[in-house]
Amino acid sequence: MTLTTSVLSVMSFVVASPVQASNSAVHQSSTHATTVSARTKTARDSPATPYPNGNASAKEPSGLAPPGPSAMTGYALSYLNDFGGTSLPPGWEVFTGVPGGDPGGQWSAGHVGVGGGLLQLSTWQDPAYGNGWVSGGVCQCGVARVYGAYFVRSRVSGPGPTQVESLWPVQGWPPEIDFNESYGNTDYSMATAHYGAANLQVHQTVNIDMTQWHTWGVIWTPNSLTYTVDGNVWGSVTDPNAISNQLMTLDLQQQTWCSANWACPTTPQSMQVDWVAEYTPISITSVSPVTHENVVVSPFAAQSSELTPLLRSQIIKLALHIKSAGVSHVSLVGFGDQQSLTPKGRALSNARALAVKSYLRHQLLSLGIRGVSVSAVGSQVLTFISTSTSAFVHGTPRRVVASLS
Protein backbone atom coordinates (compact mmCIF):
# COMPACT_ATOMS: atom_id res chain seq x y z
CA MET A 1 0.00 0.00 0.00
CA THR A 2 1.12 3.58 -0.53
CA LEU A 3 2.23 5.89 2.24
CA THR A 4 -0.10 8.70 3.28
CA THR A 5 0.23 12.37 4.23
CA SER A 6 3.65 13.20 5.68
CA VAL A 7 4.70 9.67 5.07
CA LEU A 8 7.87 8.93 6.98
CA SER A 9 9.56 10.78 9.79
CA VAL A 10 13.04 9.30 10.26
CA MET A 11 15.38 9.70 13.24
CA SER A 12 18.80 8.05 13.43
CA PHE A 13 21.25 7.74 16.29
CA VAL A 14 24.08 5.53 17.49
CA VAL A 15 24.30 4.01 20.93
CA ALA A 16 27.97 3.29 21.66
CA SER A 17 27.69 1.92 25.15
CA PRO A 18 27.88 -1.49 26.84
CA VAL A 19 24.74 -3.57 27.18
CA GLN A 20 22.20 -2.03 29.56
CA ALA A 21 20.22 -3.78 32.28
CA SER A 22 16.81 -2.60 31.07
CA ASN A 23 15.23 -1.57 27.82
CA SER A 24 14.73 2.11 28.69
CA ALA A 25 18.07 3.08 27.14
CA VAL A 26 16.92 1.78 23.77
CA HIS A 27 13.29 2.84 23.96
CA GLN A 28 14.33 6.42 24.70
CA SER A 29 17.28 8.54 23.60
CA SER A 30 20.15 7.36 25.78
CA THR A 31 22.60 9.83 27.31
CA HIS A 32 25.24 7.87 25.40
CA ALA A 33 23.55 8.52 22.06
CA THR A 34 25.20 10.61 19.35
CA THR A 35 22.91 12.09 16.69
CA VAL A 36 23.88 11.05 13.17
CA SER A 37 21.01 12.51 11.17
CA ALA A 38 17.44 13.67 11.61
CA ARG A 39 15.09 14.75 8.84
CA THR A 40 11.57 14.30 7.55
CA LYS A 41 11.21 12.04 4.53
CA THR A 42 8.24 12.20 2.18
CA ALA A 43 7.18 10.14 -0.81
CA ARG A 44 8.74 12.77 -3.09
CA ASP A 45 12.23 11.85 -1.88
CA SER A 46 12.38 8.65 -3.93
CA PRO A 47 10.66 6.96 -6.89
CA ALA A 48 7.47 5.02 -6.18
CA THR A 49 8.23 1.56 -4.77
CA PRO A 50 11.78 1.09 -6.09
CA TYR A 51 12.00 -2.11 -4.00
CA PRO A 52 9.65 -5.11 -3.79
CA ASN A 53 6.28 -4.38 -2.20
CA GLY A 54 3.93 -7.00 -3.64
CA ASN A 55 1.32 -7.37 -6.38
CA ALA A 56 -2.35 -6.40 -6.00
CA SER A 57 -4.51 -9.44 -5.28
CA ALA A 58 -8.00 -9.66 -3.79
CA LYS A 59 -7.23 -13.24 -2.80
CA GLU A 60 -4.54 -12.22 -0.29
CA PRO A 61 -5.47 -11.23 3.29
CA SER A 62 -3.29 -8.13 3.00
CA GLY A 63 -4.44 -7.18 -0.51
CA LEU A 64 -0.99 -7.79 -1.99
CA ALA A 65 0.46 -11.05 -3.26
CA PRO A 66 4.21 -11.71 -2.94
CA PRO A 67 6.55 -9.99 -5.41
CA GLY A 68 7.78 -11.95 -8.40
CA PRO A 69 11.16 -13.59 -9.10
CA SER A 70 12.45 -10.57 -11.06
CA ALA A 71 11.27 -7.86 -8.65
CA MET A 72 14.86 -6.87 -7.79
CA THR A 73 17.46 -6.13 -10.44
CA GLY A 74 20.63 -8.12 -9.80
CA TYR A 75 18.88 -10.45 -7.36
CA ALA A 76 17.25 -13.86 -7.69
CA LEU A 77 14.25 -15.02 -5.67
CA SER A 78 15.66 -17.62 -3.26
CA TYR A 79 12.71 -18.23 -0.91
CA LEU A 80 8.98 -17.53 -0.94
CA ASN A 81 6.26 -18.58 1.48
CA ASP A 82 2.63 -17.47 1.46
CA PHE A 83 1.74 -19.48 4.58
CA GLY A 84 -0.85 -21.71 2.98
CA GLY A 85 -2.08 -24.76 4.82
CA THR A 86 -2.41 -25.13 8.58
CA SER A 87 1.14 -25.73 9.81
CA LEU A 88 4.52 -24.05 9.73
CA PRO A 89 6.49 -24.66 6.53
CA PRO A 90 9.63 -26.84 6.60
CA GLY A 91 12.68 -24.99 7.87
CA TRP A 92 10.77 -22.95 10.47
CA GLU A 93 10.94 -23.51 14.24
CA VAL A 94 8.79 -22.29 17.14
CA PHE A 95 10.09 -20.39 20.18
CA THR A 96 9.34 -21.85 23.60
CA GLY A 97 10.34 -20.96 27.14
CA VAL A 98 11.23 -17.77 28.99
CA PRO A 99 13.16 -15.19 26.94
CA GLY A 100 16.65 -14.54 28.31
CA GLY A 101 16.86 -11.36 30.37
CA ASP A 102 13.07 -11.13 30.57
CA PRO A 103 11.86 -13.31 33.48
CA GLY A 104 8.30 -12.03 33.05
CA GLY A 105 8.05 -13.12 29.42
CA GLN A 106 6.97 -16.45 27.98
CA TRP A 107 6.85 -18.04 24.54
CA SER A 108 4.64 -21.02 23.74
CA ALA A 109 4.05 -23.10 20.63
CA GLY A 110 0.31 -22.77 21.29
CA HIS A 111 0.55 -19.07 20.46
CA VAL A 112 1.74 -19.73 16.91
CA GLY A 113 -0.86 -20.55 14.26
CA VAL A 114 -1.08 -20.92 10.49
CA GLY A 115 -4.41 -20.66 8.68
CA GLY A 116 -6.41 -18.57 6.25
CA GLY A 117 -3.22 -17.68 4.39
CA LEU A 118 -1.61 -16.13 7.47
CA LEU A 119 1.05 -16.86 10.02
CA GLN A 120 -0.34 -15.50 13.30
CA LEU A 121 1.64 -14.89 16.49
CA SER A 122 -0.73 -14.16 19.35
CA THR A 123 -0.40 -12.81 22.88
CA TRP A 124 -2.98 -13.44 25.58
CA GLN A 125 -3.22 -14.32 29.27
CA ASP A 126 -2.75 -18.06 29.19
CA PRO A 127 -4.18 -20.14 32.09
CA ALA A 128 -1.55 -22.80 31.34
CA TYR A 129 1.10 -20.31 32.52
CA GLY A 130 -0.58 -18.92 35.63
CA ASN A 131 -2.66 -16.51 33.55
CA GLY A 132 0.51 -14.65 32.54
CA TRP A 133 0.91 -12.90 29.20
CA VAL A 134 2.28 -15.45 26.73
CA SER A 135 3.44 -14.74 23.16
CA GLY A 136 4.42 -16.53 19.97
CA GLY A 137 7.59 -16.46 17.91
CA VAL A 138 9.27 -18.37 15.09
CA CYS A 139 12.59 -18.48 13.28
CA GLN A 140 13.47 -19.64 9.80
CA CYS A 141 16.28 -21.57 11.38
CA GLY A 142 16.58 -24.03 8.50
CA VAL A 143 17.68 -21.27 6.09
CA ALA A 144 20.83 -19.32 6.97
CA ARG A 145 22.57 -16.92 4.60
CA VAL A 146 25.24 -14.26 4.37
CA TYR A 147 23.77 -11.21 2.60
CA GLY A 148 20.45 -10.96 0.81
CA ALA A 149 17.16 -9.08 0.75
CA TYR A 150 14.28 -9.99 3.07
CA PHE A 151 10.68 -8.76 2.76
CA VAL A 152 7.89 -9.49 5.26
CA ARG A 153 4.25 -8.43 4.77
CA SER A 154 2.79 -7.90 8.26
CA ARG A 155 0.61 -5.91 10.65
CA VAL A 156 -0.27 -5.79 14.36
CA SER A 157 -3.78 -5.83 15.77
CA GLY A 158 -3.08 -3.28 18.50
CA PRO A 159 -0.69 -1.99 21.18
CA GLY A 160 0.89 -4.00 23.96
CA PRO A 161 3.43 -6.65 22.95
CA THR A 162 6.35 -5.66 20.77
CA GLN A 163 6.59 -6.98 17.21
CA VAL A 164 10.09 -7.83 15.99
CA GLU A 165 11.32 -8.85 12.54
CA SER A 166 15.06 -9.46 12.57
CA LEU A 167 18.08 -11.34 11.28
CA TRP A 168 19.80 -13.40 13.97
CA PRO A 169 23.29 -14.99 13.84
CA VAL A 170 23.68 -18.75 13.66
CA GLN A 171 26.63 -18.56 16.05
CA GLY A 172 27.55 -15.88 18.59
CA TRP A 173 25.98 -12.51 19.35
CA PRO A 174 26.21 -9.68 18.31
CA PRO A 175 25.56 -9.11 15.38
CA GLU A 176 21.80 -8.65 15.06
CA ILE A 177 19.73 -6.77 12.48
CA ASP A 178 16.26 -5.65 13.61
CA PHE A 179 14.41 -4.16 10.64
CA ASN A 180 10.96 -3.77 12.21
CA GLU A 181 10.58 -3.46 15.99
CA SER A 182 7.47 -1.80 17.42
CA TYR A 183 8.29 -1.63 21.15
CA GLY A 184 4.63 -2.25 21.91
CA ASN A 185 3.45 0.83 20.02
CA THR A 186 1.27 1.16 16.94
CA ASP A 187 2.51 4.50 15.58
CA TYR A 188 6.19 3.85 14.85
CA SER A 189 8.83 1.20 14.29
CA MET A 190 12.57 1.08 14.90
CA ALA A 191 15.43 -0.58 13.04
CA THR A 192 18.61 -1.44 14.93
CA ALA A 193 21.97 -2.79 13.78
CA HIS A 194 23.80 -4.40 16.73
CA TYR A 195 27.55 -4.96 16.37
CA GLY A 196 30.79 -5.38 18.29
CA ALA A 197 31.56 -7.09 21.59
CA ALA A 198 30.19 -4.06 23.49
CA ASN A 199 26.88 -4.29 21.61
CA LEU A 200 27.13 -0.95 19.80
CA GLN A 201 23.86 -0.01 18.13
CA VAL A 202 22.68 2.12 15.21
CA HIS A 203 18.99 3.03 15.58
CA GLN A 204 16.55 4.46 13.05
CA THR A 205 12.87 5.20 13.63
CA VAL A 206 9.93 5.61 11.25
CA ASN A 207 6.49 7.03 12.11
CA ILE A 208 3.82 4.81 10.56
CA ASP A 209 0.52 3.09 11.42
CA MET A 210 1.54 -0.43 12.45
CA THR A 211 -2.07 -1.69 12.47
CA GLN A 212 -2.17 -1.37 8.67
CA TRP A 213 -0.55 -3.88 6.33
CA HIS A 214 3.00 -2.97 5.35
CA THR A 215 5.83 -4.71 3.52
CA TRP A 216 8.94 -4.40 5.67
CA GLY A 217 12.30 -5.08 4.08
CA VAL A 218 16.03 -5.10 4.66
CA ILE A 219 18.65 -5.29 1.91
CA TRP A 220 21.85 -6.61 3.48
CA THR A 221 25.06 -6.28 1.45
CA PRO A 222 28.76 -6.30 2.39
CA ASN A 223 28.70 -2.47 2.37
CA SER A 224 25.26 -1.42 3.62
CA LEU A 225 21.94 -2.14 5.26
CA THR A 226 18.94 -0.58 3.53
CA TYR A 227 15.58 -0.51 5.33
CA THR A 228 12.41 -0.34 3.24
CA VAL A 229 8.68 -0.16 3.91
CA ASP A 230 6.07 -0.59 1.19
CA GLY A 231 8.84 -0.51 -1.41
CA ASN A 232 10.39 2.79 -0.29
CA VAL A 233 13.68 3.35 1.52
CA TRP A 234 13.32 4.88 4.99
CA GLY A 235 16.75 4.26 6.49
CA SER A 236 20.23 2.89 5.86
CA VAL A 237 23.51 1.97 7.56
CA THR A 238 26.83 2.36 5.76
CA ASP A 239 29.34 2.07 8.63
CA PRO A 240 31.30 -1.09 7.67
CA ASN A 241 31.81 -1.94 11.35
CA ALA A 242 28.04 -2.21 11.85
CA ILE A 243 27.39 -4.62 8.96
CA SER A 244 27.42 -8.34 9.71
CA ASN A 245 29.27 -10.83 7.53
CA GLN A 246 28.03 -13.89 9.46
CA LEU A 247 25.43 -16.53 8.63
CA MET A 248 22.05 -15.26 9.85
CA THR A 249 18.43 -16.45 9.89
CA LEU A 250 15.09 -14.64 9.76
CA ASP A 251 13.16 -14.33 13.07
CA LEU A 252 9.55 -13.18 13.56
CA GLN A 253 8.16 -12.73 17.04
CA GLN A 254 5.94 -11.04 19.57
CA GLN A 255 7.23 -10.49 23.09
CA THR A 256 5.98 -8.85 26.27
CA TRP A 257 8.15 -6.94 28.74
CA CYS A 258 5.77 -6.70 31.68
CA SER A 259 8.62 -7.29 34.15
CA ALA A 260 10.31 -4.15 32.78
CA ASN A 261 7.04 -2.15 32.92
CA TRP A 262 6.78 -1.61 29.18
CA ALA A 263 5.40 -3.50 26.16
CA CYS A 264 2.86 -5.06 28.52
CA PRO A 265 -0.58 -5.73 27.00
CA THR A 266 -3.93 -5.02 28.58
CA THR A 267 -5.88 -6.92 25.91
CA PRO A 268 -5.07 -9.89 23.63
CA GLN A 269 -3.16 -8.87 20.50
CA SER A 270 -1.75 -10.54 17.40
CA MET A 271 0.99 -10.09 14.84
CA GLN A 272 -0.11 -11.29 11.41
CA VAL A 273 2.22 -12.20 8.55
CA ASP A 274 0.82 -12.66 5.05
CA TRP A 275 4.03 -13.72 3.28
CA VAL A 276 7.82 -13.76 3.31
CA ALA A 277 9.97 -13.24 0.19
CA GLU A 278 13.76 -13.44 0.09
CA TYR A 279 16.28 -12.59 -2.62
CA THR A 280 19.95 -13.41 -3.01
CA PRO A 281 22.45 -11.40 -5.07
CA ILE A 282 23.02 -13.17 -8.37
CA SER A 283 26.77 -12.94 -7.82
CA ILE A 284 26.34 -15.05 -4.69
CA THR A 285 23.79 -17.52 -6.07
CA SER A 286 26.27 -18.32 -8.87
CA VAL A 287 28.74 -19.58 -6.26
CA SER A 288 28.55 -23.18 -5.13
CA PRO A 289 25.68 -23.44 -2.63
CA VAL A 290 28.01 -25.28 -0.26
CA THR A 291 29.82 -21.97 0.42
CA HIS A 292 27.28 -20.87 2.99
CA GLU A 293 25.11 -23.95 3.44
CA ASN A 294 23.56 -24.57 6.82
CA VAL A 295 22.03 -27.86 8.05
CA VAL A 296 20.08 -28.38 11.29
CA VAL A 297 20.16 -31.65 13.25
CA SER A 298 17.19 -31.75 15.62
CA PRO A 299 15.44 -32.25 17.97
CA PHE A 300 17.37 -33.67 20.89
CA ALA A 301 15.40 -34.89 23.89
CA ALA A 302 15.20 -32.44 26.76
CA GLN A 303 18.38 -32.34 28.88
CA SER A 304 19.96 -35.04 26.69
CA SER A 305 22.80 -35.30 24.18
CA GLU A 306 21.89 -38.87 23.20
CA LEU A 307 21.55 -39.49 19.46
CA THR A 308 18.12 -40.94 18.79
CA PRO A 309 17.44 -42.99 15.62
CA LEU A 310 15.93 -39.84 14.07
CA LEU A 311 19.06 -37.82 14.79
CA ARG A 312 21.33 -40.58 13.51
CA SER A 313 19.38 -40.76 10.24
CA GLN A 314 19.81 -37.00 9.80
CA ILE A 315 23.56 -37.29 10.38
CA ILE A 316 23.80 -40.15 7.86
CA LYS A 317 22.07 -37.94 5.27
CA LEU A 318 24.46 -35.13 6.18
CA ALA A 319 27.46 -37.39 5.59
CA LEU A 320 26.11 -38.43 2.19
CA HIS A 321 25.56 -34.80 1.27
CA ILE A 322 29.08 -33.87 2.37
CA LYS A 323 30.43 -36.57 0.05
CA SER A 324 28.31 -35.61 -2.96
CA ALA A 325 28.87 -31.84 -2.56
CA GLY A 326 32.60 -32.05 -1.93
CA VAL A 327 32.45 -30.26 1.42
CA SER A 328 35.88 -29.69 2.99
CA HIS A 329 34.91 -28.24 6.39
CA VAL A 330 32.00 -28.70 8.78
CA SER A 331 31.49 -26.38 11.76
CA LEU A 332 29.08 -27.83 14.35
CA VAL A 333 27.39 -25.54 16.89
CA GLY A 334 25.34 -27.17 19.65
CA PHE A 335 22.49 -25.48 21.51
CA GLY A 336 21.02 -26.27 24.91
CA ASP A 337 17.45 -26.33 26.17
CA GLN A 338 15.45 -23.09 26.01
CA GLN A 339 17.43 -20.24 27.55
CA SER A 340 19.76 -22.28 29.73
CA LEU A 341 23.38 -21.17 29.46
CA THR A 342 24.28 -21.96 33.02
CA PRO A 343 27.42 -24.14 33.35
CA LYS A 344 25.11 -27.14 33.01
CA GLY A 345 23.47 -25.65 29.91
CA ARG A 346 26.82 -24.88 28.31
CA ALA A 347 27.99 -28.42 28.98
CA LEU A 348 24.82 -29.79 27.34
CA SER A 349 25.20 -27.65 24.21
CA ASN A 350 28.84 -28.72 23.90
CA ALA A 351 27.98 -32.39 24.48
CA ARG A 352 25.41 -32.29 21.69
CA ALA A 353 27.92 -30.84 19.24
CA LEU A 354 30.52 -33.45 20.20
CA ALA A 355 28.00 -36.30 19.88
CA VAL A 356 27.13 -35.21 16.34
CA LYS A 357 30.84 -34.79 15.52
CA SER A 358 31.69 -38.31 16.68
CA TYR A 359 28.87 -39.98 14.75
CA LEU A 360 29.47 -37.83 11.66
CA ARG A 361 33.17 -38.78 11.60
CA HIS A 362 32.20 -42.45 11.87
CA GLN A 363 29.82 -42.11 8.91
CA LEU A 364 32.36 -40.22 6.82
CA LEU A 365 34.97 -42.92 7.43
CA SER A 366 32.46 -45.60 6.44
CA LEU A 367 32.05 -43.70 3.15
CA GLY A 368 35.82 -43.60 2.65
CA ILE A 369 36.07 -39.85 3.32
CA ARG A 370 39.06 -38.79 5.42
CA GLY A 371 39.89 -35.24 4.35
CA VAL A 372 36.96 -33.34 5.89
CA SER A 373 37.73 -31.02 8.82
CA VAL A 374 35.03 -31.15 11.53
CA SER A 375 34.93 -28.70 14.46
CA ALA A 376 32.41 -28.69 17.32
CA VAL A 377 31.52 -26.05 19.93
CA GLY A 378 28.63 -25.22 22.24
CA SER A 379 26.77 -21.98 21.56
CA GLN A 380 27.61 -18.99 23.76
CA VAL A 381 24.76 -16.78 22.53
CA LEU A 382 23.24 -16.18 25.93
CA THR A 383 26.39 -14.89 27.61
CA PHE A 384 24.97 -11.54 26.41
CA ILE A 385 21.97 -9.75 27.94
CA SER A 386 20.67 -7.18 25.47
CA THR A 387 18.33 -4.25 25.73
CA SER A 388 16.86 -5.30 22.41
CA THR A 389 13.69 -7.33 22.46
CA SER A 390 15.11 -9.79 19.96
CA ALA A 391 18.62 -10.39 21.27
CA PHE A 392 17.94 -13.68 22.97
CA VAL A 393 17.45 -17.37 22.28
CA HIS A 394 15.35 -17.19 19.10
CA GLY A 395 14.39 -20.78 18.57
CA THR A 396 17.85 -22.24 19.15
CA PRO A 397 17.12 -24.98 21.74
CA ARG A 398 17.68 -28.72 21.34
CA ARG A 399 19.63 -28.75 18.10
CA VAL A 400 23.02 -28.73 16.42
CA VAL A 401 23.69 -26.50 13.43
CA ALA A 402 26.17 -27.72 10.84
CA SER A 403 27.69 -24.97 8.69
CA LEU A 404 29.27 -26.42 5.54
CA SER A 405 32.06 -24.99 3.39
- Please write the tens of the pLDDT for every residue from 68-99: 999 998 899 999 999 999 999 988 999 998 88
- Please write the tens of the pLDDT for every residue from 273-283: 999 999 998 86
Write down the pLDDT at residue 26. Answer: 25
Query: pLDDT exceeding 90 applies to what percent of the chain?
Result: 53
| Residue of 294 and 226 predicted with greater confidence | 226
User: Does residue 268 surpass a pLDDT of 90?
Assistant: yes
Cα(101)–Cα(221) distance, integer angstroms:
30
Q: Which long-range contacts (CB under 8 A, 24 or more apart) does 73-78 make?
A: 74/281, 74/282, 74/283, 75/148, 75/149, 75/279, 75/280, 75/281, 75/282, 76/279, 76/280, 76/281, 76/282, 76/285, 77/277, 77/278, 77/279, 78/145, 78/148, 78/278, 78/279, 78/280, 78/285
Average pLDDT over residues 110-125: 97
Cα(218)–Cα(228) distance, integer angstroms:
6
Q: Sketch out the chain's domains with CATH numbers.
A: 8-283 (2.60.120.200), 289-404 (3.30.1330.60)
**pLDDT confidence of 338, banded at 50, 70, 90?**
low
User: Does residue 67 surpass a pLDDT of 90?
Assistant: yes
- Please write the tens of the pLDDT for every residue from 95-115: 998 887 778 889 999 999 999
DSSP states along 270-289: EEEEEEEEEEEEHHHHTS-G
Write down the pLDDT at residue 261. Answer: 82
User: Does residue 2 surpass a pLDDT of 70?
Assistant: no
Question: Please, is 370 exposed, middle or buried when counting C-beta atoms within 10 Å of its C-beta (0-12, 13-18, 19+)?
Answer: exposed
User: Does residue 197 surpass a pLDDT of 90?
Assistant: no
| Cβ atoms within 10 Å, residue 261 | 11
pLDDT, averaged across the chain = 81
User: Does residue 10 surpass a pLDDT of 50?
Assistant: no
Average pLDDT over residues 314-323: 90
User: Does residue 132 surpass a pLDDT of 90?
Assistant: yes
User: Does residue 341 surpass a pLDDT of 80?
Assistant: no
Q: Which element (helix H / strand E) includes 357?
A: helix 343-366
| Residue of 285 and 59 predicted with greater confidence | 59
- Please write the tens of the pLDDT for every residue from 389-401: 333 334 456 778 7
- Please write the tens of the pLDDT for every residue from 208-251: 999 999 999 999 999 999 999 999 999 999 999 999 988 899 99
Write down the pLDDT at residue 25. Answer: 23
Write down the pLDDT at residue 6. Answer: 32
Helix then strand then coil, in percent of the chain rounded to 5, is 20, 40, 45
| Residue of 104 and 183 predicted with greater confidence | 183
Average pLDDT over residues 158-181: 94
| Residue of 233 and 325 predicted with greater confidence | 233
Write down the pLDDT at residue 15. Answer: 42
Write down the pLDDT at residue 34. Answer: 25
User: Does residue 185 surpass a pLDDT of 60?
Assistant: yes
User: Does residue 286 surpass a pLDDT of 50?
Assistant: no
Cα(186)–Cα(206) distance, integer angstroms:
11
Write down the pLDDT at residue 110. Answer: 96
Write down the pLDDT at residue 81. Answer: 96
Write down the pLDDT at residue 46. Answer: 38
| Residue of 91 and 127 predicted with greater confidence | 127
